């Protein structure tokens, strides 16, 4: 059986995997307990009401909606779930509307913790983390950006402030001590440095 495509009235399409054959080998029965160990609540308390998906600001942009992700967690579909939650904005709107007090936002964070430990980190996350190490910002600042900040009256970016080298050293000490760089597979060095 192939993938099923659900088409929304907006024209966006959601690929579903319900139609795929899931074998016992695909399931990890202890996945729900693992999520709790990494800071999530018990996914088995989810009522599948869909409120979380309804209020999620990114739900139309993501392949697997929040409610669907939680259903896969309930089933123990670990490998189907881990790579899907990196665009969650952690806005906590889902938490505010969840009748089961499940806190899907923190579930998404728990899924990221587990994914990192399994070596599943999307390239855009690695880029943002490397930029944080190098520039104190998740985006690489350039001349145009620095000028725009100045024109808008925003505070100076950290790298242009006196004392940045000391701050950078402190950031690197934290990164090395926590092994954050090795965990994510990132470096504080520019290519060619
Ligand atoms: S916390 Fe994440 S999953 Fe929940 S509503 Fe916000 S973006 Fe959606
Ligand atoms: S709002 Fe809560 S109970 Fe409803 S589907 Fe989402 S997580 Fe489950």
Range 134-140 average pLDDT: 84
CA 139 – ligand 2 centroid, Å:
33
* Nearest CA among 78, 79, 70 for reference residue 43: 70
User: Same domain for 113 and 142?
Assistant: no
- The mean-pLDDT minimum among 9-13, 29-33, 35-39, 172-176 falls in 9-13
User: Same domain for 11 and 65?
Assistant: yes
pLDDT reported for residue 185: 80
Residue where a domain terminates, one of 117, 135, 162: 117
- CB-based contact 50:43 (threshold 8 Å): no
CA 107 – ligand 2 centroid, Å:
11
Model confidence at 9, pLDDT cuts 50, 70, 90, reads very low
CA 104 – ligand 2 centroid, Å:
7
42-85 pLDDT, tens digit per residue, is 999 999 999 999 999 988 777 778 998 999 999 999 988 887 77
Q: How many CA atoms within 13 Å lie on the side-chain side of 24?
A: 0
Q: What angle do CA 90, 113, 119 make, to 5 degrees?
A: 125
Q: What one-character DSSP code corresponds to residue 8?
A: -
Q: pTM for this structure?
A: 0.76
Joined together, the tokens standing for residue 144 give 């145009």
190 within domain boundaries? no
Show contacts of 32-35: CB within 8 Å, 24+ apart: 32/73, 32/74, 32/76, 34/78, 34/114, 35/73, 35/107, 35/110, 35/111, 35/114
Which helix (H) or strand (E) is 69 found in, with range? helix 66-75
User: Same domain for 23 and 70?
Assistant: yes
Place of tokens 């690929």: 15
User: Same domain for 107 and 58?
Assistant: yes
Residue where a domain terminates, one of 64, 97, 117: 117
Q: For the chain, how many structural domains are there in total?
A: 2
Model confidence at 156, pLDDT cuts 50, 70, 90, reads confident
Measured over the CA atoms of residue 187, residue 127, residue 93 and residue 60, the dihedral's sign is negative
23-40 pLDDT, tens digit per residue, is 888 899 999 999 999 999
- The mean-pLDDT minimum among 14-23, 34-43, 72-81, 125-134 falls in 14-23
191 within domain boundaries? no
- CB-based contact 138:126 (threshold 8 Å): no
Ligand 1 pocket test: which of 53, 94, 107, 111 has the largest number of ligand atoms within 8 Å of its C-beta? 94
Average pLDDT of the chain?
Answer: 84
- Nearest CA owner, ligand 1 atom 5: 56
User: Same domain for 145 and 107?
Assistant: no
- The mean-pLDDT minimum among 42-46, 60-64, 144-148, 176-180 falls in 60-64
Residue where a domain terminates, one of 117, 134, 149: 117
Give the closest ligand to the alpha carbon of residue 102.
Answer: 2
Model confidence at 129, pLDDT cuts 50, 70, 90, reads confident
Joined together, the tokens standing for residue 10 give 């907006």
87 within domain boundaries? yes
User: Same domain for 34 and 78?
Assistant: yes
Which CATH number fits the domain that encloses residue 101? 1.10.1060
Domain that holds residue 129: 123-184
User: Same domain for 142 and 168?
Assistant: yes
User: Same domain for 15 and 53?
Assistant: yes
pLDDT reported for residue 159: 82
User: Same domain for 74 and 105?
Assistant: yes
49 within domain boundaries? yes
Residue by residue, DSSP assigns 102-164 as --HHHHHHHHHHHHHHTT---HHHHHHHHHHHHHSSSS---HHHHHHHHHTTPPPPGGGSTTH
User: Same domain for 44 and 136?
Assistant: no
108-120 pLDDT, tens digit per residue, is 999 999 998 888 8
User: Same domain for 20 and 99?
Assistant: yes
74 within domain boundaries? yes
């Amino acid at each position: 059986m192939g993938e099923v495509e659900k088409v929304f009235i907006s024209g966006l399409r959601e690929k579903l995997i319900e139609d795929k054959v899931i074998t016992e080998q695909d399931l990890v029965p202890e996945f729900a307990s693992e999520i709790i160990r990494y800071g999530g609540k018990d996914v088995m308390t989810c009522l599948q009401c869909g409120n979380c998906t309804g209020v999620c600001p990114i739900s139309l942009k993501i392949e697997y909606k929040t409610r669907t992700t939680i259903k896969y967690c309930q089933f123990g579909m670990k490998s189907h779930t881990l790579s899907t939650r990196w665009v969650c904005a952690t806005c906590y709107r889902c938490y505010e509307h969840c009748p089961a007090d499940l806190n899907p936002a923190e579930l998404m964070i728990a899924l990221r913790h587990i994914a990192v430990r399994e070596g599943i980190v999307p390239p855009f996350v690695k880029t943002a983390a490397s930029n944080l190490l190098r520039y104190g910002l998740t985006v690489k600042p350039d001349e145009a950006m620095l000028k725009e900040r100045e024109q808008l009256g925003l505070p100076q970016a950290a790298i242009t402030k006196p004392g940045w080298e000391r701050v950078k050293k402190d950031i690197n000490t934290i990164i090395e001590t926590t092994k954050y760089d090795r965990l994510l597979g990132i470096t504080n060095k520019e290519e060619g440095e």
